[in-house]
Amino acid sequence: MTDSPLDSWPDGFARGAANRAALAALLGLSSVTPRRLLALAARAPTAGEVLALVRRGGHSSDEDRDRARALNGDDVIAAADDAGARLVSVGDREYPSSLLDLFDPPAGLFVRGGELSSPAAAVAIVGARNASPDGEDVTRALGAALARAGARVISGAARGIDARAHEGALDGGGVTVAVLGSGIDVAYPRQNARLIERIATTGSVVSEYPPGTKALPYRFPARNRIVAGLARAVVIVEGARGSGSMITADHALELGRDVFAVPGPVASELAQVPLSLIREGATLIRGAQDLLDDLGLSPAGAEGGESDGPRSGGTPLPPDEAAVAAALSGSTPAETIAARAGLSLPKTLAALGALEVRGLVRLRGGRYESRVRPA
């Protein structure tokens, strides 16, 4: 007889030390997917009872049945503790209720760093691993703007857009959450190990996989659903056809989350996912201010008055921002600013977004105006 999954986890599914240990063991069984686990919970309403079913056989692969019989969940929890992580199970105060919107919500997550559940708005930024320099610049500006506006930035710690989103949020002095497609103690890709450690210090690192779990291809689409589930909205910066960014967008749409996309040149392969999403109804954003306006967020310090020149807090602006600030004259469209500054349009939009966040530029009627006197 086929089990019918429940709509949500039974009350007290992981309550108590024995059930938490059982859940820790279950999370390490690849054939007992979250949806399969939810189905088993319809027959056995606690993690301990589900583990007993799996150990008897017939509810997982033979390999996982044998693994379940050998696994000691307390050892898994101890390994997580050694990695500086904790198990957050469904029913815990820290478990994000937004994940229960998923078709297959995880019964538990391993978490390093700060509390995962927060009243702050959470926005996911995802995109291509092999991102363009312009795409990376735009992403950094978006991440920083969201951080300064008090929003959490969610992403998947991958190369390219994901990494730049995390870095932008950190540079903006905010909190960012990295969702891994590997064990909580397995930094993947290895080149982002230092970034992941930095995130764990000020934000949170999350995985539904126990310590030691390798990063395998099938785990990343599963990771993407958690990225979407944690977020109020999802922003797609770049992505080629068939990329993981489209998977994340699809999850967001299924969950009823707002989806935003940054357009790119129509001939660029990296622009295909954003352009496709925009054509299907996603909201086009030109930069940070568009996103903040659409989300109803206010950048910190954006209401300040005029200053004596294009500086931020007495510090000279970065080169692109300084060039764009100098190119502003009256009410100017972005294309004209780009030509005057000698920058590409995506770089110009990224700089304008950063200047808006600093309160040095404002957008009115599709044109940009300086809020400072030219230097």
State the pLDDT at residue 250: 95
Residue 302 inside a domain? The answer is no
Higher pLDDT, 64 or 118: 64
Residue 303: pLDDT band with limits 50, 70, 90: very low
Ramachandran assignment for 283, one of left (phi > 0), alpha (psi -120 to 50 degrees), beta (any other): beta
For residue 133, give every residue at least 6 positions away whose Cβ sits within 8 Å of its Cβ, in sequence order, or none.
Answer: none
CB 291 within 8 A of CB 285: yes
CA 327 to mean position of chain CA atoms: 34
173 and 36 part of one domain: no
60 and 23 part of one domain: yes
Model confidence pTM above 0.85:
no
Higher pLDDT, 319 or 182: 182
How far apart, in whole angstroms, are the C-alpha atoms of residue 231 and residue 73? Answer: 30
State the pLDDT at residue 314: 45
196 and 290 part of one domain: yes
152 and 179 part of one domain: yes
CATH classification at residue 166: 3.40.50.450
Could you say which of 238, 265, 295 is where a domain stops? 295
The mean pLDDT of 344-358, rounded to a whole number, is 86
Residue 54: pLDDT band with limits 50, 70, 90: very high
Percentage of the chain exceeding pLDDT 90? 73
Indicate whether 331 pLDDT > 80. Answer: no
Q: What is the helix (H) or strand (E) element at residue 103, kind and residue range?
A: none
288 and 228 part of one domain: yes
Residue 102 inside a domain? The answer is no
Residue 144 inside a domain? The answer is yes
Indicate whether 318 pLDDT > 90. Answer: no
271 and 224 part of one domain: yes
Residue 112 inside a domain? The answer is no
72 and 210 part of one domain: no
280 and 324 part of one domain: no
Residue 117 inside a domain? The answer is no
Residue 229 inside a domain? The answer is yes
Number of domains in the chain: 3
Residue 275 inside a domain? The answer is yes
Strands (E) located in 197-325: 204-207, 233-236, 258-261, 283-284, 311-312, 315-316
Could you say which of 28, 61, 81 is where a domain stops? 81
Per the listing, tokens 């056989």 go with: 57
132 and 274 part of one domain: yes
Residue 319 inside a domain? The answer is yes
Domain that holds residue 185: 122-295
Could you say which of 25, 48, 81 is where a domain stops? 81
Strands 258-261 and 233-236, sheet pairing? parallel
Mean pLDDT, the chain, integer: 90
289 and 154 part of one domain: yes
Q: Tens digit of pLDDT for each residue in 220-239?
A: 999 999 999 999 999 999 99
CATH classification at residue 365: 1.10.10.10
Of the CA atoms within 13 Å of residue 133, those in its CB half-sphere come to 5
Residue 315: pLDDT band with limits 50, 70, 90: low
State the pLDDT at residue 372: 47
The mean pLDDT of 306-329, rounded to a whole number, is 66
Least confident of 17-21, 227-231, 264-268, 294-298: 294-298
Percentage of the chain exceeding pLDDT 70? 92
State the pLDDT at residue 361: 83
141 and 283 part of one domain: yes
The mean pLDDT of 213-221, rounded to a whole number, is 94
State the pLDDT at residue 2: 53
Q: Tens digit of pLDDT for each residue in 169-203?
A: 999 999 999 999 999 999 999 999 999 999 999 99
How far apart, in whole angstroms, are the C-alpha atoms of residue 25 and residue 193? Answer: 26
173 and 286 part of one domain: yes
